[in-house]
Homo-oligomer: A and B are copies of this chain.
Amino acid sequence: MTKNNNPKTTIVDIIGSGRVANHLLRAFNQNPQKNVDANLVNPRTLLGARPFAQIALIAVSDNAIEQVAAKLNYPNAIIAHTSGSTPIDILKPFAPQTGVFYPLQTFSLERKLEYSKIPFFIEGSSKQTADSLAALAASISNQYHIADSQQRKALHVAAVFACNFTNHLWAIADTILNENGLTFEMIRPLLEETLNKTNILSPLQAQTGPAARGDSKTIEAHRQFLASAPDLQNLYSLLSSSIQNLQNKNHP
């Protein structure tokens, strides 16, 4: 990236070496306005740190945030972390202006991402701090939201259900298919349509399948099918009941 001497340039140090740190660097560097001068800083040695930076983003694992924050030396910077499940308060002892800059996405180094579509969730120790972090998010993405630590926790729990647990159900499906000479590719069009359907119906309205229609004969046949895998059988039963509970709660 060519050095930009535009006075409106924001100097951002990203402290981290993992997936989030690297994707944020790419995102700032791809930003067509070129109004962010971003730089990676090694979280152990602090090599690359620029004490004159205006914003320092701590993009390390949740457990390491506090100890990294304690050794930083940015006299005038906003110090923000990028974690969904860590309160803003953890940074309070280390700087007058603190914040959270949380991109809600699953990051793999192998994947190219459309950064403009990633929603950022912003929190600031003051309105001014939040505004600065929001402007930084807006330089990458079309979507940012102000969210407090409780909302961020809700987002993270929701994301575990909707992303991590969902992926696990796909891993289970993959296993069942492989054991029967079938492949995950065969169900991909079904998964795509299941997701696309939520564009026109809420997931609650879009619910289909044996549990939703109270088809106890099919549920029992599927439980029999899973008899040799008690873990999966148990999960099948619990998820089927959970579908019925949620429906009863919404249409008693």
User: What 1/0 flags go to A92-122 for Cβ under 8 Å of B?
Assistant: 0000000000001110101101000111000
How far is A248 from B110 in the complex, measured between Cα atoms in Å? 24
Query: Given A106-B193, A106-B208, A234-B238, are A187 and B159 neighbors across the interface (CB < 8 Å)?
Result: yes
Query: Given A62-B218, A184-B202, A243-B168, are A189 and B105 neighbors across the interface (CB < 8 Å)?
Result: yes
A161-211 contacts to B, CB under 8 A, are: 161-177, 179-182, 184, 186-198, 200-204, 206-211
Distance from A6 Cβ to chain B, minimum over Cβ atoms (Å) = 30
Across the interface, which residues of B come within 8 angstroms of A119, CB to CB? 186, 189
Distance from A31 Cβ to chain B, minimum over Cβ atoms (Å) = 18
Q: Determine whether the beta carbon of A194 is less than 8 Å from that of B106.
A: yes
Across the interface, which residues of B come within 8 angstroms of A70, CB to CB? none
Distance from A56 Cβ to chain B, minimum over Cβ atoms (Å) = 24
Q: Determine whether the beta carbon of A187 is less than 8 Å from that of B158.
A: yes
Distance from A232 Cβ to chain B, minimum over Cβ atoms (Å) = 8
Classify the interface of chain A: helix, strand, loop or mixed.
helix
Q: Determine whether the beta carbon of A190 is less than 8 Å from that of B210.
A: no
How far is A190 from B168 in the complex, measured between Cα atoms in Å? 15
Query: Given A164-B207, A203-B184, are A157 and B190 neighbors across the interface (CB < 8 Å)?
Result: no
Across the interface, which residues of B come within 8 angstroms of A231, CB to CB? 242, 245
Across the interface, which residues of B come within 8 angstroms of A1, CB to CB? none
Distance from A122 Cβ to chain B, minimum over Cβ atoms (Å) = 13
Query: Given A168-B243, A173-B162, A184-B198, are A190 and B106 neighbors across the interface (CB < 8 Å)?
Result: yes
Across the interface, which residues of B come within 8 angstroms of A175, CB to CB? 204, 246
How far is A166 from B212 in the complex, measured between Cα atoms in Å? 13
How far is A157 from B182 in the complex, measured between Cα atoms in Å? 12
Distance from A188 Cβ to chain B, minimum over Cβ atoms (Å) = 8
A212-252 contacts to B, CB under 8 A, are: 212, 215, 217-218, 221-222, 225-226, 231-232, 234-236, 238-239, 242-243, 245-246
A34, CB-defined interface residue at 8 Å: no
Q: Determine whether the beta carbon of A158 is less than 8 Å from that of B176.
A: yes
9 sampled A-B residue pairs with Cβ under 8 A: A110-B201, A155-B177, A155-B180, A164-B211, A167-B207, A169-B169, A170-B203, A171-B202, A174-B202
